[in-house]
């Protein structure tokens, strides 16, 4: 029996609000056992949707607010004026102990700023990272950061490795995730200083709950060479969006190709079942749900434009994380990193002269 969990939902977030969120919860209620939802948003709008969603209605509690944060509101403004909004209340429910995790399709910057304000970062992490679940030839890989941190130093990249591995373990079920650092080649002298320094730290720390496999390249993401691909938020965001654009290009090309003439159309008709399955397998919405990692609490960001199936998978991610050992695993590995740094500093201090001599 899975343990019962309560998930707090920002029902007004995203491009579609309740008209997508409630049907998504209907799907979630039917497929995820023993989950209850706290629905933050406009009571009238939510009850109208819930009237058509019996499974969701049975497990939802509506918490009314008539305030919400606009998708284009600046994070600083949202922090100042967002108190009492559906997004704010959804996050606050975690801090108050009423929910184990929260899901929002709202404004990413606002969600990040408010989550950081209310929940605080765990250990001495600086900023949350966003992780993407990326379909690959072998299954699903975790790629992070995909946009929270425009520049990342070596230490942050190592933290991403720790958080990404814990996420992959919790949500995608790998026993001991393999981790790679994204670079422009696999040779040690390639890439910029941050990447090479992170490589040295990861290589010299064999006590993590994951297997560090060294540098990987862009092609390795789709190949599924490693379970976790670590990169800075700028590169990760560009890679993710480049792939999303290409996926849509392929979709359009397939459609056009298979309707180009009577023979192709006949072929497409016959093969349509298989093509549909393929489209589902590659659909980014199927693996929607990017948690903000590094917070004292589980906050999952859904795509703003996600449909009901997409939002439902973000909910599944939140439930998986809430039921896992996720936060403890991150803390454990961060402590190991700190312990090794302390030990290294101590060793340096104790026998610095000897080490210096041995280095030549």
* Chain contacts with its own copies (rule: CB under 8 A): 136-137, 147, 150-151, 182, 184, 190-192, 217-223, 231, 233-235, 237-250, 252-254, 257-258, 260-261, 263-264, 266-275, 277-278, 281-282
Of residues 70 and 269, the one with the C-beta less far from its own copies:
269
Displacement of CA 64 from its chain's centroid (Å): 28
CB closer to its own copies out of 18 and 128: 128
Q: How far is the CB of 250 from its own copies (least distance, A)?
A: 5
Q: How far is the CB of 252 from its own copies (least distance, A)?
A: 7
Choose between 51 and 282: whose C-beta lies nearer to its own copies: 282
Q: Shortest gap between Cβ of 220 and its own copies (angstroms)?
A: 7
SS3 readout for the chain: CCCCEEEEEECCCCCCCHHHHHHHHHHHHHHCCCEEEEEEECHHHHHHHHCCCHHHHHHEEEEECCCCCCCCCCHHHHHHHCCCCHHHHHHHHHHCCCCCEEEECCCHHHHHHHHHHHHCECCCCCCCEEEEEEECCCCEEEEECCCCCCCCCHHHHHHHHHHHHHHHHHHHCCCCCEEEEECCCCCCCCCCHHHHHHHHHHHCCCCCCCEEEEEECHHHHHHCCCCEEECCHHHHHHHHHHHHHHHHHHHHHHHHHCCCCHHHHHHHHHHHHHHHHHHHHHCHHHHCCEEEECECCEEEECCCCCCHHHHHHHHHHHHHHHHCCHHHHHHHHHHHHHHHHHHHHHHHHHCHHHHHHHHC
Taking the least distance from each CB to its own copies, the nearer of 90 and 239 is 239
d(CA 217, CA 219): 6
Instruction: Pick the closer one to its own copies by CB: 123 or 254.
Output: 254
Q: Which is nearer to its own copies, 23 or 233 (CB)?
A: 233
Q: Give least dist CB 232 to its own copies, A.
A: 9
Q: Say if residues 284 and 305 touch (Cβ distance below 8 Å).
A: no
Rounded to the nearest whole angstrom, what is the least distance from the CB of residue 121 to its own copies in the complex? 21
Decide whether 278 or 350 has the Cβ nearer to its own copies. 278
Burial class of residue 145 in the structure, from the number of CB atoms within 10 Å of its CB (0-12 exposed, 13-18 middle, 19+ buried): buried
Find the shortest distance in angstroms from Cβ 157 to its own copies.
Answer: 13
Burial class (CB in 10 A: 0-12, 13-18, 19+), 71: middle
CB of 60 to its own copies, least distance (A): 34
Which C-beta is closer to its own copies: that of 246 or that of 344? 246
Q: Least distance in Å: CB of 160 to its own copies?
A: 15
* Least separation in angstroms between CB 292 and its own copies: 16
Nearer to its own copies, 59 or 254 (CB): 254
Rounded to the nearest 10 degrees, how much is the dihedral formed by the CA atoms of 121, 125, 127, 128?
-70
Least distance to its own copies from the beta carbon of 348, Å? 30
Return the number of the residue (271 or 328) whose C-beta is nearest its own copies: 271
């Amino acid at each position: 029996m899975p343990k019962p969990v309560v998930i707090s939902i920002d029902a007004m977030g995203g491009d579609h609000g309740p008209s997508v969120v409630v049907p998504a919860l209907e799907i979630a209620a039917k497929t995820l056992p023993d989950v209850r939802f706290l629905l933050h948003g406009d009571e009238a709008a939510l009850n109208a949707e819930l009237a058509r969603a019996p499974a969701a209605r049975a497990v939802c509690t509506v918490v009314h607010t008539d305030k919400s944060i606009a998708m284009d509101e600046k994070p600083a403004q949202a922090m100042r004026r967002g108190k009492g909004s559906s997004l704010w209340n959804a996050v606050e429910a975690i801090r108050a102990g009423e929910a184990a995790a929260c899901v929002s399709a709202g404004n990413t910057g606002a969600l990040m700023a408010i989550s950081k304000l209310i929940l605080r970062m765990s250990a001495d992490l600086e900023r949350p990272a966003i992780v993407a679940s990326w379909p690959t030839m072998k299954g699903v890989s975790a790629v992070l950061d995909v946009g929270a941190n425009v520049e990342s130093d070596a230490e942050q990249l190592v933290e991403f490795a720790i958080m990404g591995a814990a996420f992959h373990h919790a949500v995608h079920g790998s026993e001991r995730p393999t981790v790679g650092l994204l670079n422009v080649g696999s040779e040690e002298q390639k890439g910029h200083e941050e990447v090479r320094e992170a490589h040295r730290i990861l290589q010299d720390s064999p006590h993590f709950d994951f297997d560090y496999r060294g540098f990987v390249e862009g092609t390795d993401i789709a190949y599924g060479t490693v379970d976790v691909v670590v990169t800075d938020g700028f590169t990760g965001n560009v890679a993710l969006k480049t792939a999303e654009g290409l996926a849509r290009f392929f979709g359009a090309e397939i459609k056009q190709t298979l309707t180009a003439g009577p023979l192709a159309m006949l072929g497409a008709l016959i093969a349509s079942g298989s093509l549909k399955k393929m489209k589902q397998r590659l659909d980014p919405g199927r693996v929607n749900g990017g948690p903000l990692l590094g917070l004292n609490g589980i906050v999952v960001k859904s795509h703003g434009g996600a449909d009901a199936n997409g939002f439902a998978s973000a909910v599944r991610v939140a439930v998986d994380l809430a039921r896992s050992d996720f936060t403890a695993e991150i803390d454990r590995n961060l402590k190991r990193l700190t312990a090794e740094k302390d030990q290294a500093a101590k060793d340096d201090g104790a026998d610095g002269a000897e080490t210096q001599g041995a280095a030549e």
